[in-house]
Amino acid sequence: MTRIVTILTEGFADWETTLLNAVAKGFYGAETAYVAPGGKPVTSMGGMRVTPDMALEDVDVQKLDALIVCGGSNWKQPSAPAITAVVHAAHDAGKIVGGICDGTFALARTGLLDTVAHTSNGVGYLDESGYRGKALYRDVPTAVVAGRIVTAPATAPVSFAEKVLEAVGIADDQLHYYVGLHARQYAGQADAKAA
């Protein structure tokens, strides 16, 4: 069974990985798990309180298929948890590693984005991370996949979910239809503005 583990921190952006985990578990029967520093409960930007399944420090990368870093206000703070070891262990073990919004900032800090195409919240957004991959930045509104790494801006939770599910091998025509339904709402807005 596919297992997706999502890293949450205090102030996590609850909407960024909700579709990914709900679709993975609800439609494809994947196992989803949540981890946080010290295994302590965390509260999202929207006020949702989550008790994680385990401590971040206890993650066994051999027991997961994807390690996801949910964005949130904490990743740019000096108190952000150290994830370099677990992220590199997952990547080195051939697992999917993903980050969305400030989760990409966390990945950039680990050096994982130094050598692969990636995206985030805009050109220059990752500069403060100290990473060396700016030449590989892609200024696109959707998720980017490269080298088993999936990155996305905060505004792309739907394509992020799609690309992670494709990467773990559980995507199908139904998923692509579902993603298309989400896309239609924006096409409709563009059509309405043109009229």
DSSP 146-175: ETTEEEE-TT-HHHHHHHHHHHTT---HHH
Can you give the CATH number for the domain in which 15 is found? 3.40.50.880
- First-residue to last-residue Cα distance in the chain: 48
**pLDDT tens track, the chain, 195 positions:** 999 999 999 999 999 999 999 999 999 999 999 999 999 999 999 999 999 999 999 999 999 999 999 999 999 999 999 999 999 999 999 999 999 999 999 999 999 999 999 999 999 999 999 999 999 999 999 999 999 999 999 999 999 999 999 999 999 999 999 899 988 887 765 555 555
Q: How many domains does the chain have?
A: 1
Q: State how far the alpha carbon of 3 is from the alpha carbons of 30, 95, 154, 159, in Å.
A: 6, 11, 23, 19
Residue 120 belongs to what domain range?
A: 3-194
